Amino acid sequence: MSILKPIEIKAFVPAKDFKLSQQFYQDIGFEKRSEGGGIAYFCYEHCAFLLQDFHLKPCADNFMMHLLVEDADAWYDRIR
């Protein structure tokens, strides 16, 4: 048994407009748990990510995040 097992992994999400991006994620239900040094930590139950005040176009254009939900139609209606 190894004591070197991972505890968690989080994506660093690029933001072209850091404040607007923070508001977007809060509006769809994510809770901002902390912010500092150009990083905002967001959670929704067991899902979490780090929003960064950094935008490099080639990297941002290739970035993808997958959010799996139980009812996609309900999430779509909520966001709309």
Look up the pTM and report it: 0.82
Three-class secondary structure assignment of 49-73: EEEECCCCHHHHHHCCCCCCCCCHH
Confidence of residue 17 (pLDDT cuts 50, 70, 90): very high
Question: What tens digit of pLDDT does each residue of 33-59 get?
Answer: 999 999 999 999 989 999 999 999 988
Please list, in sequence order, all residues whose beta carbon lies within 8 angstroms of the beta carbon of residue 38, skipping any fewer than 6 positions away: 18, 52, 53, 54
Strands 31-36 and 39-44: antiparallel
For the beta sheet containing 47-52, the strands, ordered from the edge strand earlier in sequence to the opposite edge, are 12-14, 47-52, 39-44, 31-36
- Domains of the chain (ranges; CATH) run 12-79 (3.10.180.10)
